[in-house]
Structures are given as structure tokens and as C-alpha cells.
């Protein structure tokens, strides 16, 4: 796509794409912002033109469940940021994940994935796949040899998440994508924690990238959304599933996501820097047993993260001494953190997996997935890092 000056968007930086990407074609008259188009239907005075649009022979919109101008601008922005051929959106992040899985796969399909995927994703694999005759093999997340062995046994889709939610494990995308391609499998990567500012899985061999746009992309905790981007042929199949099953992104949500994405690079850069500083602080605290953050040299995935990421994310997690009882005592003492089931916002957000990432899972299921009950997921906001450090220090002192 070219901008109004005829310059190819691929020449632009990520910060510029976050602001301008996908927006220029919709601007008209005095409007400097993408308008929110609430119309459910789009009318035509000529039946032949209407038919051409309906058949995809001409650009345009027919019905809001299928496409919408505001939604299309959001899809184009993330397409450009991820360097994808195409993108399609959903009403939520889980809508995007389930749309990807069920839009591409059918009975008899075998998926190779990780034990550390987001709790909702794990539920789809463990609860819903068996109902439709599909299999998901969940491997030890950091045993790349074992994952490659499972891929070689048969694989229709390799589904990765990196860094993982909530234990911040790092997966070698290029290595595993190479193994999947040899087996003829499609490779999908959940890039929610990294964002396209820190990581572009398509450039590392993935076919598809999925985001919960509710999180970092929107950044203000006021709009639900999801998006899948990547190979055009695969995205078209996923879009067709979505247009028929109906998990459509609302135009007002698309507008809020577009507005939030304009500051994506600024926010993520600040969050990366603050998270690294806080990880170092927590690592040396006597009441913290372990810190999970790929920016720490001691992190098992640090070398891989350095190869495939430009920043280490604004997410971290840490294990407090004293288990879940200590978690329940510590969290209410945080002044500058919402205790809520969200992440990636301008405000810091904290909580245990039992009420956030893996609330759908039982204690036993979380244990089987390697998620300790004493873990706290800490999504760093854009506050001054000195205030966040003091806040953590004061809360830990009360344990």
C-alpha cells in the first residue's frame, strides 16, 4: 500500500505505521481521524455494482457482519505492523484464537502446541477438540527436541505462544517453524505479549499471527477485540468462518483500538524499560522466590529472546514465598495496580493465574500446566518506574 505521497509503507518505521497505517484511504474532507461507521448495511443504486462488491470483484461493503470501513482500517494497521499479506478481526481475542483453529481444522486434525498456552486456549484444546474429533498434543514448552519429535509424528497445525502467559517462557519460533514446514504443517503464533513492536513471527517463519487486541494493541482497557493476520489464503478461510459464525468486531471497538494503537510504540517501549528494571529489583528481594522475565540474563530463554525479540515485553511474573496465602495478602497492598483480569493497559495490572490467565482451570489443571498458585502476573503500565518499585517494596514489606 502507498500513502498519499506515493511512498511504500514498508519503508516506514513501526511508530509511523502505528499512527498512519491503514488510515489514509478512509480520510476525506476535513476529518483527520477514521470515522466510526455504525451502519449495518451499505446501499447501492446499481444492482450490477452491488453484485460486483458482493462477489469481491470491486472494493466495498455489503453488511456489517462481513466487513465495515472502520474495522477494515484496524485490520490494515495491524497487517502493516506485522508485515502480513492479509488480516481479519474478531470481537475478542478468544474469538480470534478459536476462529483460527476451527476455521482451518476439521475432524481428524492433529495440533502440536505447548503446555503453557493461555488458559482459554488450553480449554479449547483439552475440552472442545475431543468433541469434534481433533487432537491437541501439549508439549513441554521449552523442550524443543520433544516438540520437533511430535511434529514429525504428524502435525496439521503448530500453535505457539511466546512469551507464554503467565510464566513468560520463550519459544524458538524459527527453529520450530522450520520443523513444522518440513512436516507440511501451518504455523500460528500468539504474539499478544510481545506485540509487533517487539516481535514479528511472520518474519521468523510463521504463517499466521494472532493477537488479543484487547491487551497491548488497544492499551486502554476499554475495547474488546482480536485479530489474525498472515498468509492471504489462510486468512481468507478464517475470515469466511468468522463471517458465517458471526464473531464480528464492532466498529466502535475498532475505533478505540485504532486510537490506542497510535501510541503503541511509545507505550510498549516505556513498558519494556520499566519491566526490566522491576524484574531486576524483584530478583533481589528476599520475599520473592523467583522472577519470570526473558530480559534477565538468568532466564532460560534469554538467548532466544535476544535473537527474535527487539524488546522483552511489559509483562513479568514472580513467585512470592508463602504461596497463595501470601498472594492474597500482598495484592491488596498495591497502590498502583488494578487487581483485575486484564493486561497490557496504560495502568499496571496484577493478579494470580487463578483469577486471570487460567481462571477457567482447576487447581489440578494449573498444576499440570506447571503454574504455581503463588505466582503473580504483573502487567507493567506507563507509570513512573520509581513509583511502581516503591509500591512493590512497600507491599512486600507487609508480608
CB-CB neighbours of 188 under 10 Å: 28
CA atoms within 13 A on the CB side of 260: 25
The residue among 115, 170, 131 whose CA lies nearest residue 361 is 115
Q: In the structure grid, which three cell numbers stand for residue 117, read together?
A: 498456552
Q: φ, ψ for residue 189 (rounded to 5)?
A: -130, 125
68, 62 contact by CB (below 8 A): no
DSSP 295: T
User: Looking at the DSSP assignment, which residues form a beta bridge with residue 23?
Assistant: none
180, 187 contact by CB (below 8 A): yes
Radius of gyration of the chain, Cα coordinates, nearest whole angstrom: 21
223, 342 contact by CB (below 8 A): no
CA distance 45 to 198: 46
CA distance 300 to 128: 32
CA distance 210 to 171: 15
User: Looking at the DSSP assignment, which residues form a beta bridge with residue 111?
Assistant: 136, 157
- Active-site positions read 65, 118, 190, 215
Written as one string, the DSSP assignment of 24-68 is GGG--TT--S------SB---S-HHHHHHHHTTSS----BTTT--
Q: Which residues contact 9 (CB under 8 A, 6 or more apart)?
A: 1, 2, 3, 17, 20, 21, 80
Helices 251-261 and 69-82: crossing angle, nearest 10°? 40
CA distance 233 to 261: 26
Amino acid at each position: 500500500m502507498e500513502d498519499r505521497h506515493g511512498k511504500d509503507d514498508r519503508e516506514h518505521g513501526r511508530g509511523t505505521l502505528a499512527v498512519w497505517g491503514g488510515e489514509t484511504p478512509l480520510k476525506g474532507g476535513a476529518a483527520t481521524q477514521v470515522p466510526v461507521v455504525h451502519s449495518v448495511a451499505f446501499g447501492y443504486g446499481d444492482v450490477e455494482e452491488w453484485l460486483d462488491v458482493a462477489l469481491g470483484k470491486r472494493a466495498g461493503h455489503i453488511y456489517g457482519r462481513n466487513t465495515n470501513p472502520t474495522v477494515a482500517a484496524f485490520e490494515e494497521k495491524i497487517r502493516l505492523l506485522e508485515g502480513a499479506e492479509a488480516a481479519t478481526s474478531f470481537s475478542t481475542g478468544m474469538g480470534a484464537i478459536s476462529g483460527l483453529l476451527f476455521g482451518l481444522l476439521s475432524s481428524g486434525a492433529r495440533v502440536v502446541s505447548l503446555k503453557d498456552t493461555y488458559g482459554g486456549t488450553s480449554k479449547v484444546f483439552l475440552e472442545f477438540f475431543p468433541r469434534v474429533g481433533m487432537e491437541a498434543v501439549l508439549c513441554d514448552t521449552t523442550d524443543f527436541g520433544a516438540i520437533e519429535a511430535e511434529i514429525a509424528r504428524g502435525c496439521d497445525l503448530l500453535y505457539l505462544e511466546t512469551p507464554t502467559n503467565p510464566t513468560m517462557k520463550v519459544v524458538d519460533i524459527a527453529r520450530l517453524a522450520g520443523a513444522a514446514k518440513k512436516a507440511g504443517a501451518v504455523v500460528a503464533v500468539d504474539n499478544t505479549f510481545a506485540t509487533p513492536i517487539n516481535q514479528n513471527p511472520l518474519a521468523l517463519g510463521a504463517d499466521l499471527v494472532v493477537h488479543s487486541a484487547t491487551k497491548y494493541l488497544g492499551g486502554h482497557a476499554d475495547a474488546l477485540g482480536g485479530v489474525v493476520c498472515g498468509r492471504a489464503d489462510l486468512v481468507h478461510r478464517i475470515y469466511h468462518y468468522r463471517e458465517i459464525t458471526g464473531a464480528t468486531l464492532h466498529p466502535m471497538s475498532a475505533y478505540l483500538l485504532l486510537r490506542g494503537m497510535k501510541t503503541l510504540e511509545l507505550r510498549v517501549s516505556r513498558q519494556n524499560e520499566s519491566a526490566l528494571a522491576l524484574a531486576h529489583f524483584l530478583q533481589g528481594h528476599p520475599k520473592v522466590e523467583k522472577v519470570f522475565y526473558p530480559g534477565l540474563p538468568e532466564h532460560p530463554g534469554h538467548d532466544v529472546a535476544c535473537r527474535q525479540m527487539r524488546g522483552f515485553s511489559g509483562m513479568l511474573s514472580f513467585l512470592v514465598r508463602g504461596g497463595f496465602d501470601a498472594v492474597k495478602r500482598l495484592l491488596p497492598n498495591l497502590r498502583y495496580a488494578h487487581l483485575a483480569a486484564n493486561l497490557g493497559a496504560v495502568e499496571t495490572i496484577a493478579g494470580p493465574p487463578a483469577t486471570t490467565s487460567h481462571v477457567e482451570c482447576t487447581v489440578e489443571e494449573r498444576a499440570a500446566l506447571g503454574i504455581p498458585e503463588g505466582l503473580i502476573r504483573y502487567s507493567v503500565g506507563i507509570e513512573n518506574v520509581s513509583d511502581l518499585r516503591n509500591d512493590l517494596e512497600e507491599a512486600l514489606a507487609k508480608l
